[in-house]
């Protein structure tokens, strides 16, 4: 799968205003909490507390609307909109959709190369499991329904490590690296099709607290950030210089008014029955025999079969 990417600088007209916005927001929750759909997120209160890395996130905008006062400075950023057109074409329709911020504390291991969660017309993570959406992308069978999404990522970090690695020409293409100091630069690409990852954050052998779990949260502290537990007690303090801030912006892209109409009208969507039928037909064409179970998406054998048939092949980070 081949994509393109563009690098822009400056990413924002007023960097200080963006930083002030981020520092006034919160609380931020562990990034791992966002691995599920809305129903899974709602169940977090009953989920056992498990160790997670010191990676936190907060949504600043969703469905085109700000969730944090002042988040328009990210959500409606004209530089990102113009950059998306440079990736997808000058005449494409760009609809800013989501904005969120990730904050990473010192971590001795990478955020391995990965693809963002895709969306398809009528079939998204709001109602369907992420693993299934990922396999739909891996298979290449559902590109007709895949929603094109432009992602702009920009960073604030001047310390060691934390390099951004990405592969704009596919996993077999050249590896590109954006390295700190980060201040006002952004990479804009189709991150649902462009592998990307983050190198370990901080000096080599930086210590990492083991006490952060899925119920922890990150709040603004004295000259930095405090990771706190469910009772509000401070687990660890991060100085501003020690954390790597990522601002992510996403927009739906339509190459033509006709394509936008399909999305707006709800025409030509795909449903679970069609997804299963397409997978099953492709398995049969490959000579892979398995009778279709009654509830394939919840059948361990069927899930294991399609996972083995359509694996993801991420590149190695140098």
- Tens-of-pLDDT digits for all 318 residues of the chain? 446 899 999 999 999 999 999 999 999 999 988 755 444 444 444 456 677 899 999 999 999 999 999 999 999 999 999 999 999 999 999 999 999 999 999 999 999 999 999 999 999 988 999 999 999 999 999 999 999 999 999 999 999 999 999 999 999 999 999 999 998 999 999 999 999 999 999 999 888 989 999 999 999 998 899 999 999 999 999 999 999 999 999 999 999 999 999 999 999 999 999 999 999 999 999 999 889 999 999 999 999 999 999 999 999 998
Q: Alpha-carbon dihedral of residues 114, 61, 104, 26, nearest 10 degrees? A: -150
Q: Is the pTM of this model over 0.75?
A: yes
Please state the φ and ψ torsions of residue 188, each to the nearest 5 degrees: -115, 125
Q: Which residues pair with 213 in a beta bridge?
A: 51
Candidates 16, 83, 117, 68; CA nearest to 253 is 83
Where are any strands of DSSP class E within the chain?
5-8, 29-30, 55-62, 65-66, 93-104, 111-114, 148-156, 164-167, 176-178, 186-189, 195-198, 217-221, 224-228, 234-239, 244-254
Given CATH 2.60.120, say whether it is the number of domain 5-268: yes
How far separated are the first and last CA of the chain, in Å rounded? Answer: 20
Tokens read off for 192: 């649902």
Directed axis angle between helix 272-285 and helix 300-309, to 10°? Answer: 60
- Residue 183, pLDDT score: 86
Provide the token pair at 240.
Answer: 């501003």
CB 187 within 8 A of CB 152: yes
């Amino acid at each position: 799968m081949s994509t393109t990417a563009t690098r822009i600088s400056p990413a924002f007209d007023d960097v200080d205003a963006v930083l002030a916005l981020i520092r006034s927001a919160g609380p931020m929750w562990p990034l791992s909490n966002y691995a599920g759909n809305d129903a899974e997120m709602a169940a977090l209160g009953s989920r056992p507390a498990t160790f997670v890395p010191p990676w936190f996130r907060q949504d600043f905008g969703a469905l085109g609307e700000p969730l944090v006062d002042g988040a328009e400075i990210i959500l409606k950023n004209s530089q990102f909109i113009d950059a998306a057109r440079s990736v997808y074409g000058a005449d494409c329709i760009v609809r800013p959709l989501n904005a969120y911020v990730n904050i990473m504390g010192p971590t001795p291991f990478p955020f391995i190369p990965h693809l963002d969660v895709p969306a398809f017309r009528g079939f998204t993570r709001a109602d369907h499991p992420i693993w299934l959406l990922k396999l739909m992308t891996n298979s290449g069978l559902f590109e007709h329904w895949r929603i094109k999404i432009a992602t702009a990522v920009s960073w604030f970090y001047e310390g060691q490590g934390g390099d951004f690695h990405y592969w704009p020409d596919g996993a077999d293409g050249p590896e590109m690296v954006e390295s700190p100091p980060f201040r006002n630069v952004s990479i804009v690409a189709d991150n649902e099709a462009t592998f990307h990852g983050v190198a370990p954050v901080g000096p080599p052998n930086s210590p990492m607290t083991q006490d952060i779990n899925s119920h922890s949260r990150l709040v603004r502290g004295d000259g930095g950030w405090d990771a706190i537990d469910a009772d509000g007690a401070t687990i660890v303090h991060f100085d501003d210089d020690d954390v790597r801030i990522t601002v992510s912006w996403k927009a739906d892209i339509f190459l033509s008014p006709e394509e936008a109409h399909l999305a707006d009208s709800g025409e030509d969507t795909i449903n679970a029955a069609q997804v299963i039928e397409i997978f099953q037909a492709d398995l049969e064409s490959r000579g892979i025999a398995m009778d279709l179970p009654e509830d394939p998406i919840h059948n361990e054998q069927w899930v294991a079969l399609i996972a083995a048939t359509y694996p993801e092949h991420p590149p190695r980070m140098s």
